[in-house]
Copies of this chain bind each other. A is one copy, B any other.
Amino acid sequence: MEYYSEEISSLIDELGRLPGIGAKSAQRIAFHILHMPKEEAKRLAHTITEAREKVHYCRECFTLTDSDLCPICSNPRRDHKKIMVVENTQDLAAYEKTGKYDGVYHVLHGAISPMQGIGPDDIKLKELMARISKEDVSEVIIATNSSLEGETTAMYISKLIKPAGIKTTRIASGVPVGGDLENIDEMTLLRALEGRTEI
């Protein structure tokens, strides 16, 4: 038996498919939308369609952008010889927020995960190799996550790149700034110890 009319049920279903939205949230959001002024609901729908239509991969670094070449790749003031490899566009944005990185990026859109059946061909790795072979690259900074998948991907990439004689670095793992030692897991503490530098 259906307790809601078809349109309401479909809306709840569609919203419930989005990540992190359970059945209860989907229902709450659906009724919120049904009570919105029509113009607002239309704007929300339009924004979704527009974003999906206009946003695509940058032809150089594969970040999500609305232009053929993203603002970073098309910026002549960035150091195009330095490529930071990240798992996704959000990670790129996180580094951009620091305002201190002057190189360019390469977005993999994932990480190698044998457990989830994601192999090197399922991420933008061939595209990275193509870039490195045709451009004059001085350093590849591997900034994949500090997870099992991220580390596996980092190892894999470094093995591919190093033979070409290109400097390959990995971002440091360690204690987060402001982190209280007693609340940090052992693996992180071990990494912080291994990665210690002279002061």
A interface residue numbers (CB < 8 A to B): 1, 3-8, 10-11, 14, 18-21, 25, 27-36, 38, 41-55, 64-67, 70-71, 88-90, 92-93, 96-97, 99, 109
Contact = CB atoms under 8 A, between A and B. Distances in A.
A3 B99 CA distance: 10
Of A31, A52, A70, A92, chain B has the most CB atoms within 10 Å of the CB of: A52
Contact of A50 (B7, B30, B70): B7
A71 B9 CA distance: 15
Given A29-B18, A45-B46, A65-B5, A51 B11 contact: yes
B47 A10 contact: yes
Please give the count of copies of this chain that the complex contains.
2
Nearest to A9: B51
A29 B47 CA distance: 13
A50 B35 CA distance: 13
23 contacts: A1-B96, A3-B92, A3-B97, A4-B93, A5-B67, A5-B70, A5-B71, A6-B66, A7-B55, A8-B66, A8-B89, A11-B47, A14-B43, A14-B47, A20-B25, A21-B29, A31-B88, A33-B48, A34-B55, A34-B64, A41-B52, A45-B46, A48-B48
A154 to B, nearest CB: 22
B51 A10 contact: yes
A186 B89 CA distance: 50
Given A5-B64, A29-B19, A38 B53 contact: yes
Contacts of A4: 64, 89, 93
Contacts of A48: 11, 14, 33, 41, 44-45, 48
